[in-house]
A and B are shown apart, each in its own frame.
Chain A
Amino acid sequence: MERGEYLVVMGLCLLITLPLELLLGARVWRRPRRLLVAMVPLVLVYSIWDIAMIAAGSWSYSDEKLTGILLPFEMPLEELVFFIVVPICGLLTLEAVGNVLTALGRLRAGEPVGRVLRDLPHGGGPRPAPAASTGAEVA
């Protein structure tokens, strides 16, 4: 268990941010392609930085608290997990905060509390109107 401590911390980060997706409609996990497009360059760049710093001896990792699984260039597995988990927690926060701000705006505009709260897990804005009402847009 102790050797998995870093991974446990990362798992807890995912766990406590899960309500942002489920209750506040963050819709980050539900847009996997967009998430992948955003994350790949970040994970690459920060991994290179990490590998360079490990090679330079600027930082190192506890042998007792990490699994010991090393990726190419001596990067601990945990570091890759960190560069994936922490930015995703940030994205969940961004979307959830946006949805809460939208919901607050709707409340201030006088919309019924029940309706605003009902829409929150779906993204905070009003639900899309039925297809029939979009006819006016056709050019």
Chain B
Amino acid sequence: MGIYTLTALVSVVVVLAIELLWLRTGILRTWRFWLAMAIVMGFQVPVDGWLTKLSDPLVLYNEADMTGIRAPWDIPVEDFAFGFGMVTLAMVLWVHAGRREERRAAAGAGTRGPRQERA
């Protein structure tokens, strides 16, 4: 437990709060979000695994600032919270930006209704 463990957990809470209390895109209630996230986290393993492998690392961590639990391979568990938070934030901001564009386009075009975001 250390500053990385703490900030990684806080980042997930903040991102979920941004979605649930502020932007409310509803993305967490869609299949496409959870399926896409499962795929992203699946691909995180080879990519992050390569970056953090202890035999020949690209990124070096201070073990005092984290739990020290590394799995699978040498990936710090904190990285999965980091990745989940970051990619979720990207998806929330992307869907939100799309809705705003569509509202603006609908307001500009007048007669044409907004297209629905597919779930």
Contact = CB atoms under 8 A, between A and B. Distances in A.
Nearest to A91: B94
B93 interface: yes
Contacts of B59: 59-62
Interface residues of B, number: 43
A97 B32 contact: yes
Q: Interface residue tally of chain A, by bracket?
A: 35 or more
A42 B62 contact: no
Contacts of B93: 37-39, 41-42
Nearest to A34: B97
A139 B113 CA distance: 11
A23 B89 CA distance: 25
Nearest to A46: B86
B118 A125 contact: yes
Interface in B56-113: 57-62, 65-66, 83, 86-87, 89-91, 93-94, 96-98, 100-101, 111-113
21 contacts: A5-B58, A6-B51, A6-B58, A9-B51, A34-B98, A37-B93, A38-B94, A42-B89, A42-B90, A49-B11, A58-B62, A59-B59, A61-B58, A66-B58, A86-B86, A87-B89, A96-B36, A97-B39, A98-B118, A134-B112, A138-B111
